């Protein structure tokens, strides 16, 4: 049976926070720490990174830093954010994996000693002056994307990410001509990947490319992508993923292996608190409206993502049929759940939306001029 979510034991504290203000993201730092420790217990890697794009709250970044995780960033502003929070951090501890970033941003990262990943082979020609003489990583497209939705599959020809395997030989030649040393290879196949052997498979693909083209590449970064089950599904078998990666490490001990999860570390640690504004019936359909919507949490609208939703004011109450759980944004797609079993609800009830600690606040907007949920850690 899946463990009960942390927020059930903190109902009174969450209701008190909701009394102060809604909508509100709440992050449980002990859960963040527990996930980081579980990762390092079950998956033996040479370096553990955290994909900052998942949740950039200062307390979350601080908690993961204290557990020994380094930052993986995808923009200069993420790099600047991390460095402002951790001014003593060596820039070389940051892995920067941009795609289609402007020349000036990449040049600045290299100049300041950040570890940079090449995502586009043609920039070695177009930006020769930027890359010349630097040690870099190369992001390789392993050929097949995986994940819970097409929008989060980050490999294959339909994906904008990474260098095609057919172009790696030419990239290696051009890199040598510019005195660019490829010291690591990187791949990330997608998010919410539930196959436990994905990291091991990815490592083998990268090792083969290192053997063929990049003799100095001793680091293989196999990305993140671990799933976060919802709706009462069984937990992901992290130990099995660790065993698959360990098998590769036994086969090829000459390589360092890095992992860089994001959502796995923080999703379950966060909830979105909202308050019921209105309940409407149209024919046989019941709509439960909340005081925030896709402006705070866009994942259901963007990905069709499932988030557990509970009436915290009536915790334990039986479902009163199904309901559409919707927000106040002027879009038909502004819905958190469709035909979801849900108890009686009235104006003022506090609702908790679970697994909201990743890709929630960081993807928020002020659409309709409605301010998104604020963030607080506990």
Catalytic residue IDs: 330
Check if the beta carbon of residue 143 is closer than 8 Å to that of residue 167.
no
Q: Which residue has the tokens 């008190």?
A: 16
Longest dimension (CA), the chain: 70
Task: Give all strands (DSSP E) within the chain, no chain letters.
Answer: 24-27, 47-51, 70-73, 95-96, 115-118, 135-139, 181-186, 219-221, 256-259, 270-282, 285-290, 309-311, 322-326, 335-341, 350-353, 374-377
Reading the block at residue 45, the tokens are: 């890697």
- Dig out the tokens for 176 from the structure: 């040598």
What is the rounded end-to-end Cα distance, in angstroms, of the chain? 26
CB 294 within 8 A of CB 330: no
Cα–Cα distance for residue pair 125/114, rounded to 1 Å: 21
């Amino acid at each position: 049976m899946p463990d009960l979510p942390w927020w059930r034991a903190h109902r009174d504290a969450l209701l008190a926070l909701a009394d102060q203000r809604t909508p509100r993201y709440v992050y449980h730092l002990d859960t963040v720490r527990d996930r980081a420790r579980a990762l390092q217990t079950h998956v033996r890697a040479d370096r553990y990174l955290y994909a900052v794009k998942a949740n950039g709250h200062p307390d979350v970044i601080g908690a993961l830093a204290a557990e020994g995780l380094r930052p993986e960033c995808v923009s200069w502003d993420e790099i600047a954010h991390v460095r402002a929070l951790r001014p003593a951090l060596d820039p070389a501890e940051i892995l920067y994996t941009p795609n289609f970033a402007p020349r000036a941003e990449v040049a600045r990262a290299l100049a300041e000693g950040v570890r940079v990943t090449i995502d586009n082979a043609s920039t070695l020609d177009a930006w020769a002056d930027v890359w010349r003489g630097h040690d870099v990583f190369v992001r390789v497209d392993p050929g097949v994307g995986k994940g819970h939705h097409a929008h989060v599959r980050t490999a294959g020809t339909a994906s904008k990410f990474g260098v095609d395997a057919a172009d790696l030989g030419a990239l290696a030649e051009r890199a040598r001509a510019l005195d660019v040393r490829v010291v690591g290879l990187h791949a990330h196949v997608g998010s919410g990947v539930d196959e436990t052997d994905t990291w091991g498979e990815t490592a083998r693909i990268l090792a083969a490319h290192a053997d063929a083209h990049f003799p100095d590449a001793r680091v293989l970064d196999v990305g993140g992508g671990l799933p976060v089950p919802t709706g009462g599904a069984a937990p992901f078998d992290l130990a099995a993923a660790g065993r698959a990666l360990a098998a590769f490490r036994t086969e090829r001990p000459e390589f360092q292996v890095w992992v860089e999860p994001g959502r796995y570390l923080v999703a379950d640690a966060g909830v979105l608190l909202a308050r019921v504004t209105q309940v409407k019936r149209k024919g046989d359909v019941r709509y439960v409206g909340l005081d925030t919507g896709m402006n705070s949490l866009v994942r259901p609208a963007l990905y069709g993502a499932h988030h557990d939703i509970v009436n915290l004011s009536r915790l334990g109450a039986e479902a009163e049929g199904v309901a559409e759980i919707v927000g106040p944004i002027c879009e038909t797609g502004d819905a958190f759940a469709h035909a979801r079993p849900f108890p009686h609800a009235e104006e003022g009830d506090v609702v908790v939306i679970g697994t909201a600690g990743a890709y929630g606040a960081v993807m928020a907007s002020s659409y309709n001029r409605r301010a998104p949920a604020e963030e607080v850690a506990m």
